[in-house]
Structure 1
Amino acid sequence: MSTRRAGTLHLNIFLHNAGHHEAAWRLPESDPVADTNIEHYRNVAVIAERGKFDSVFLADNPKLTTDIRRRPSGTLEPTVVLTALACATRHIGLIATASTTYSDPYNLARRLASVDHISAGRAGWNIVTSSGASAARNFGLDDSPPHHERYLRAAEFVEVAQRLWDSWEDDTIVADKERGVWGDGTKIHPAAHAGTFFRVEGALNVPRSPQGQPLLVQAGSSQDGRAFAAQYAEAVFTAQQTLEEAQQFYADMAKRVVQAGRDPRNVKILPGLVPIVGATEHEARAMAEELDRLILPEYAKLQLASRLRLSPEELQLDHELPVNLPHEGEIEDVKSRFSLIVGIARRDSLTVRQLIARLGPGRGHRTVTGTAEQIADSMQHWFDSRAADGFNVMPAVMPSGLETFVDQVVPILQDRGVFRREYEGSTLRDHYGLARPANRFAPQGWDR
Structure 2
Amino acid sequence: MTKHRQLHLNTNITGVGRHPAGWRTLDNPRAIIDFKFFREIATTAERGKLDAVFLSDALALRNHAEGPQQSFEPTVLLTALAGATEHVGLIGTASTTFNDPFNLARRFASVDHLSGGRVAFNAVTTYDAAAAANFSFNTPLSTEERYARAQEFVDVVTKLWDSWEDDALVADQATGRYADPSRVHAIEHRGQYFSVRGPLNVPRSPQGRPVLVQAGSSEGGRALAARFADAVFTAQTTLPSAQAFYKEMKERVARHGRNPDHFLLLPGLYPVVGGTEQEARAHKAELDALLDTDREVARLAGALGLSPDDLHIDKPLPYERIEKVVRSDLPRGFIDSTVALAKAENLTVRELLDRNPGAHRIIVGTPEQIANDIAQWFEERGADGFNLNADVFPSGLAAFVDHVVPLLQRKGIFRTDYEGTTLREHYCLPRPDSQYAKRREAA
**TM-score, normalised by the number of residues in structure 1:** 0.94
Superposed CA deviations along residues 408-428 of structure 1, whole A, max 9, x for unmatched, are 111111112110011000000
AA of the residue aligned to 1:434: L
AA of the residue aligned to 1:215: V
Kindly indicate whether residue 45 of structure 2 is the aligned counterpart of residue 42 of structure 1: no
2:121 matched residue in structure 1: 125
1:390 matched residue in structure 2: 385
2:29 matched residue in structure 1: 32
Kindly indicate whether residue 323 of structure 2 is the aligned counterpart of residue 315 of structure 1: no
1:22 matched residue in structure 2: 20
Structure 2 gap segments, 5+ residues each: none
Q: Distance in 1 between matches of 2:252 and 2:184?
A: 34
1:177 Cα deviation after fit: 2.4
1:357 matched residue in structure 2: 354
Residue 325 of structure 1 aligns to a residue whose secondary structure is helix
1:411 matched residue in structure 2: 406
Does the aligned pair in 2 maintain the 1:328–1:338 contact within 8 Å? no
Residue 303 of structure 1 aligns to a residue whose secondary structure is helix
Residue 377 of structure 1 aligns to a residue whose secondary structure is helix
**1:234-245 equivalences in 2 (<5 Å):** 234-245=230-241
1:328 Cα deviation after fit: 7.3
Change (3 A) 1:143 1:291: same
AA of the residue aligned to 1:353: R
Kindly indicate whether residue 51 of structure 2 is the aligned counterpart of residue 54 of structure 1: yes
For these two proteins, the number of residue pairs brought into alignment is 439
Q: Distance in 2 between matches of 1:325 and 1:309?
A: 9
2:368 matched residue in structure 1: 373
Does the aligned pair in 2 maintain the 1:174–1:181 contact within 8 Å? yes
**1:40-189 equivalences in 2 (<5 Å):** 40-64=37-61, 66-189=62-185
Does the aligned pair in 2 maintain the 1:307–1:338 contact within 8 Å? yes
Change (3 A) 1:264 1:329: farther
Kindly indicate whether residue 286 of structure 2 is the aligned counterpart of residue 294 of structure 1: no
Change (3 A) 1:112 1:43: same
Kindly indicate whether residue 262 of structure 2 is the aligned counterpart of residue 261 of structure 1: no
Does the aligned pair in 2 maintain the 1:14–1:58 contact within 8 Å? yes
Q: Distance in 1 between matches of 2:315 and 2:91?
A: 40
1:97 Cα deviation after fit: 0.3
1:349 Cα deviation after fit: 3.9
Does the aligned pair in 1 maintain the 2:274–2:367 contact within 8 Å? yes
1:12 matched residue in structure 2: 10
Does the aligned pair in 2 maintain the 1:132–1:143 contact within 8 Å? no
Which has the larger displacement, 202-211 or 345-354?
Answer: 345-354
1:340 Cα deviation after fit: 2.0
1:209 matched residue in structure 2: 205
Which has the larger displacement, 328-337 or 387-396?
Answer: 328-337
Superposed CA deviations along residues 79-134 of structure 1, whole A, max 9, x for unmatched, are 00100010000011100000100000000000000010000100101110000322
Give the alignment's Cα RMSD to 1 decimal. 1.9
Q: Distance in 2 between matches of 1:6 and 1:118?
A: 30
1:431 matched residue in structure 2: 426
Q: Distance in 2 between matches of 1:196 and 1:444?
A: 24
Which has the larger displacement, 265-274 or 174-183?
Answer: 174-183
Superposed CA deviations along residues 250-297 of structure 1, whole A, max 9, x for unmatched, are 111111111121111011111111111111111111112222222211
1:337 matched residue in structure 2: 334
Change (3 A) 1:6 1:173: closer
Residue 218 of structure 1 aligns to a residue whose secondary structure is strand
AA of the residue aligned to 1:123: V
Residue 139 of structure 1 aligns to a residue whose secondary structure is coil
Q: Distance in 1 between matches of 2:21 and 2:37?
A: 18
Q: Distance in 2 between matches of 1:118 and 1:356?
A: 42
Give % identity. 49
Does the aligned pair in 2 maintain the 1:358–1:364 contact within 8 Å? no
Q: Distance in 2 between matches of 1:437 and 1:242?
A: 34
Q: Distance in 2 between matches of 1:394 and 1:7?
A: 23
Does the aligned pair in 1 maintain the 2:238–2:341 contact within 8 Å? no
1:353 Cα deviation after fit: 3.1
AA of the residue aligned to 2:31: A
